Chain A
Amino acid sequence: DAGVIQSPRHEVTEMGQEVTLRCKPISGHDYLFWYRQTMMRGLELLIYFNNNVPIDDSGMPEDRFSAKMPNASFSTLKIQPSEPRDSAVYFCASSPRGGAVTGELFFGEGSRLTVL
Chain B
Amino acid sequence: QKEVEQNSGPLSVPEGAIASLNCTYSDRGSQSFFWYRQYSGKSPELIMFIYSNGDKEDGRFTAQLNKASQYVSLLIRDSQPSDSATYLCAVRPGGSYIPTFGRGTSLIVHP
Task: Pick the interface stretch among B42-50, B61-69, B75-83.
Answer: B42-50
Task: Say yes or no: B49 contacts A107, CB within 8 Å.
Answer: no
Of B9-17, B21-29, B52-60, B99-107, the one with at least 4 CB within 8 A of chain A: B99-107
- Against A, the Cβ 8 Å flags (1 = close, 0 = not) of B80-111 are 00000000101010000111111110000000
Chain A residue nearest to B100 (CB atoms) is A45
Tell whether, in the assembled complex, residue B98 and residue A45 are in contact, meaning their CB atoms are under 8 Å apart.
yes
Are B99 and A42 closer than 8 Å at their CB atoms? no
In the bound assembly, the distance between CA atoms of A13 and B104 in angstroms comes to: 28
B: contact size bracket? 10 to 19
Provide the residues of chain B in CB contact with A41, threshold 8 Å. Answer: 103
Q: Please tell me which stretch of A21-29, A79-87, A98-106 contacts chain B, meaning at least 4 of its Cβ atoms lie within 8 angstroms of it.
A: A98-106
Q: Find chain B residues with CB under 8 A from A91 CB.
A: 43-44
- Report B55 CB to chain A, min CB distance, Å: 18
Cβ contact within 8 Å between A43 and B88:
yes
Contact A104 B49 (CB under 8 A): yes
Counting CB contacts under 8 A, is B73 at the interface?
no
B104/A104 in contact, CB under 8 A: no
**Whole-angstrom CA separation of A91 from B88 in the bound complex:** 15
Of all chain B residues, the one with the shortest Cβ separation from A92 is B43
Report if A107-B43 is in contact (Cβ < 8 Å); known contacts: A42-B103, A43-B88. yes
Give B42 Cβ to nearest chain A Cβ, in Å.
Answer: 7
CB neighbours of A31 from chain B (8 A)? 97
Q: Cβ of B70 < 8 Å from any Cβ of A?
A: no
B interface residues (Cβ-Cβ under 8 A, vs A): 32, 34, 42-46, 49, 88, 90, 92, 97-104
